[in-house]
Chain A
Amino acid sequence: MKKLIFIISILLFCNVIFAQTDSILKKISAAWGSLDYSIPESPAFNLLGNNPDNLLKPTSVKSIAISLGNYYLSNAAVIPQNIGVEISPLLLNPKASLYDFRRNSFWYRFRFSLGTNVQEKGAFQIAEGFRFTIIDKSDLRLDREFLEKLGDLAVDKNKAKEKAIQEYYSMHHATYPDIFAVYDAYINNISIRTEIDEIAKKYTLNPDTITNFRNLKKQKLWNAQIWEMGMAALQQSPDSLISNAKFAKLSFWSTYGTHFNLNDQLLIGCKFEMADSLSKWKPKISIGTRYYYGKNELRGFVQGEYSLINQLNSATASAGLIFNITDGIWGQLAMNFIFDLKGNVTFAPGFNIGLGTTEKKI
């Protein structure tokens, strides 16, 4: 548990360091556009196999995302034995600007992930993965409407300031030799700037703040069109010795998300996996769909999935909740029912927590 806390602290601390370094740079950091969307499992974490769910849930890129848990409720486990970390190396770069992101969005959205899982008697699994984004319309950084809004606000404020400077000059005509002296005072004298800004408020046509508009966009974009692909490989060791770890699984995912209205999202995905079973590589193909209904911060889902594994085909039906605990911390509660061809039904409830870089707010 101490190791886990240590790792999380280091990762979150790294983000603070980068944020502080960023403050001395004269650019907009590309990381500012990260909205507080849910934090789904990374490819490496999904491959650890603690979850019967084979669908890779897409989400807009974050600098760092951590997945904890998938410890089944039936085991009454308290300490999570598995952890996954996903990072976007380019987005972590403190010198990355919004302009850089817009020019090379594919590589800024490229993420690496690493997951580990401690099993009984010291056996462990380690997985490495990556994912890339083909389409992501939920990303504020590339949202045309948001950037247009920023420009409109700037124009509105500029016009209001021009009128306020003119009015201030009319009121203090005797004090200033000409209006240019008022312009200069507005820039150089804080108390005069405050007075003029106060006058400008009555000329401001658009009272919307950027924060309000950004929150509106978050509610509108959480279920926007998105398409991601990923890959991960897993090594497994029968004991705690890393030298005994053997290559055991390789998986590929592809998931597409869209919506029908403001409150829902439909995910359609597939997974192809090659797994080492008694020294024979066996393929497994899963196709599934998940339907969300709700809002960004709280939504329910139902999911159906079918897996083809030689003679052991199975279907999984799931239902659950995704909820925002606080900025950058998300929970998922899921109930999974696994049906095999012999008519057996297995119940596998699960709970996991996702931590990610927080959204910058006032």
Chain B
Amino acid sequence: MTEININPAKQTLSVEVKSQSLHVFAISITVFDTDKEKKLEQHTVKLDINDEFKQVLALKPSEAKGKYINFLFTIVSPDGKDSQYSAIIMILEDNNALKPEIEISGCTLYGEGSNVARFHIN
């Protein structure tokens, strides 16, 4: 799990996802409370080939401490290959942008692959 620091002076917390996979895929962003049980919000969006999006979270930076942001990716593959796919996730706030590479694997012909990534906010 990756830990991130959020600047509480900011007005909003946002997540930007850039696809470098050249694939169509979906991503669910779920914010969990500090107890890891309660879901505070969830967004599911799709990305086109080489697309990107920015999701503004309802979670306020001032209330973000201790919360978790979980990402679940699913790729659908229109080709016939067993492949590895990657995407870059960035948490956009102050100067502490993180760029971990998330590998998504397991796609087969018209199949799908999934992976998860998670951040704990300090």
**Interface residue ranges, A against B (CB under 8 Å):** 22-23, 25-29, 32-33, 97-99, 102, 146-147, 150-159, 161-162, 165, 178-180, 183-184, 186-187, 209-211, 214, 360, 362
Chain A residue at smallest Cβ distance from B32: A179
Residue with the highest number of chain B CB atoms closer than 10 Å, among A97, A98, A155? A155
Hey, which chain A residues are within 8 Å of B109, CB to CB?
Answer: 360, 362
Closest 9 CB pairs of A and B: A151-B46, A154-B26, A32-B79, A150-B24, A158-B26, A178-B36, A155-B26, A99-B22, A158-B74
> Contacting A186 at CB < 8 Å: which of B42, B44, B114?
B114
Total residues of chain B contacting the partner, CB 8 A: 44
Assuming A183-B116, A360-B80, is B110 touching A211 (CB within 8 A)? yes
A161 to B30 Cα, complex, angstroms: 13
Across the interface, do A180 and B112 meet the contact criterion of CB distance under 8 Å?
no
Hey, which chain A residues are within 8 Å of B118, CB to CB?
Answer: 180, 183
Chain A residue at smallest Cβ distance from B22: A99
Chain A residue at smallest Cβ distance from B86: A26
> Contacting B78 at CB < 8 Å: which of A28, A161, A183?
A28
Q: How far does the Cβ of A243 sit from chain B's closest Cβ, in whole Å?
A: 46
Chain A residue at smallest Cβ distance from B30: A162
A157 to B42 Cα, complex, angstroms: 15
Across the interface, do B76 and A210 meet the contact criterion of CB distance under 8 Å?
yes
Q: How far does the Cβ of A179 sit from chain B's closest Cβ, in whole Å?
A: 6
Q: How far does the Cβ of A28 sit from chain B's closest Cβ, in whole Å?
A: 4
Hey, which chain B residues are within 8 Å of A151, CB to CB?
Answer: 24-26, 46-48
A154 to B110 Cα, complex, angstroms: 11
A-B contact count (CB 8 A): 114
Interface residues of B in 68-109 (CB under 8 A from A): 68, 70, 72-86, 109
Assuming A28-B23, A150-B24, A162-B44, is B116 touching A186 (CB within 8 A)? yes
**Does more than half of chain A's interface fall in helix, strand or loop, or is it mixed?**
helix
**Interface residue ranges, B against A (CB under 8 Å):** 1, 22-28, 30, 32, 36-37, 42, 44-50, 68, 70, 72-86, 109-110, 112, 114-116, 118
A49 to B75 Cα, complex, angstroms: 49
Across the interface, do A102 and B42 meet the contact criterion of CB distance under 8 Å?
no
> Contacting A22 at CB < 8 Å: which of B27, B76, B81?
B81
Across the interface, do B36 and A184 meet the contact criterion of CB distance under 8 Å?
no
Q: How far does the Cβ of A328 sit from chain B's closest Cβ, in whole Å?
A: 15
Q: How far does the Cβ of B36 sit from chain A's closest Cβ, in whole Å?
A: 4
Hey, which chain A residues are within 8 Å of B27, CB to CB?
Answer: 158
Across the interface, do A98 and B81 meet the contact criterion of CB distance under 8 Å?
no
Hey, which chain B residues are within 8 Å of A98, CB to CB?
Answer: 22, 49, 79
Hey, which chain A residues are within 8 Å of B82, CB to CB?
Answer: 23
A146 to B78 Cα, complex, angstroms: 10
Across the interface, do B78 and A162 meet the contact criterion of CB distance under 8 Å?
no
Chain A residue at smallest Cβ distance from B74: A158
Residue with the highest number of chain A CB atoms closer than 10 Å, among B27, B37, B46? B46
